[in-house]
Amino acid sequence: MPHSVTCECGRRFEMPDEYAGLHARCSDCATREWRIADDPEPIATSGKAKASLAVGACVFLGVVSGAPAVLLGRAALKEIDQSKGTLRGRGTAIAGIVLGVFGCLVTIPLLLLPQEAVEASWRGQCVNNLKQIGLALHNYHAVNGCFPAAAIVDKEGRPLLSWRVAILPLLESEDLYERFHLDEPWDSPHNLGLLNLMPSCFACPSDETLKPGATGYRAVLGGAFTSDFKPLRFADFPDGTSNTLFVGESLQAVPWTKPDDLAVGGGLPLHGLGSRHDDGFNALLVDGSVRFLKNAIDPNVLSALITRGGGEVISSDGY
């Protein structure tokens, strides 16, 4: 008489009475067991193993931390073990775990860095940005016999584009410079389309409020850059190039292509200069050096630094 039995997979079926007491499998499980024994190659690679390796690889791109790769790799190994040979990918999962562990070892110490150390790094990058800008301004003078005017102007003398656009060829961005229509204003449909291509040296990393295409590096008109957009030469700095401010940081960011610099006075503290750094801001001097000026700087000293021919005497410890 047939009797009902249950396979290890949970499926119920009928078997003849003479097989009572024997280990029984349904037809599907028996076929799968035969298939694995006859052909030891697994059916597929674990998806978790693939994901672990992919996430681990992303660690090197700085996209994610290493923890997800480790967790996915462990889950993949467990899944492979429980598959009874139907899944492969053990090596892939282990590789993902290794990359993930490496990523944790790299990223966790960075996360534990004191904020002061992070800010010091950002401030150093800001100094390098201004030095790069200063070198481009000096190279512009070497090529043209003068520094750029505060703005590229049209035939009527109206400002169209910032001095930052004028120095692009000296910042290894000649291709970008050639894409500008120099006879159109910064916000013409064509030139506005180039706004988000701003070179990285125009963005201070400490200012996380900057929008794409905006810069806080601005000149103070009336000093090294004239408000009537006339270019100057080294001979036009009787106070000395080491005593005249060229470009400084400002908390009032502007589109980098826009001819919009700070005015002397302007009704703003520090003539509008300032930064996200603690206690002060970086300033590029005409000689190419970069100094950190404190927010508490004597207003008279700052004014003397801005003017190029005021005849003021500035001591070496005055700022």
Q: What is the tens place of the pLDDT at every residue in 165-177?
A: 999 999 999 999 9
Closest by alpha carbon to 182, among 162, 196, 202?
A: 162
Mean pLDDT of 259-268: 85
Give the model's confidence band at 192: pLDDT under 50 very low, under 70 low, under 90 confident, else very high. Answer: very high
Collapsing DSSP to helix, strand or coil, 165 comes out as helix
Mean pLDDT of 245-268: 91
Mean pLDDT of 18-44: 52
First to last CA, the chain: 105
**Model confidence at 77: pLDDT above 50:** yes
Compute how many other C-beta atoms are within 10 angstroms of the C-beta atom of residue 189: 8
Mean pLDDT of 46-51: 61
Mean pLDDT of 148-165: 96
Q: What is the pLDDT of residue 37?
A: 43
How far apart are the C-alpha atoms of 143 and 155, rounded to whole Å?
23
**Model confidence at 29: pLDDT above 70:** no
**Model confidence at 46: pLDDT above 80:** no
In whole numbers, what is the pLDDT of the chain averaged over residues?
81
Give the model's confidence band at 315: pLDDT under 50 very low, under 70 low, under 90 confident, else very high. Answer: confident
Collapsing DSSP to helix, strand or coil, 96 comes out as helix
Q: Is the separation of the CB atoms in 273 and 249 below 8 Å?
A: yes
Give the model's confidence band at 1: pLDDT under 50 very low, under 70 low, under 90 confident, else very high. Answer: low
Confidence (pTM):
0.65
Give the model's confidence band at 113: pLDDT under 50 very low, under 70 low, under 90 confident, else very high. Answer: low
Percent of residues in the chain assigned helix, strand, coil, to nearest 5? 45, 15, 40
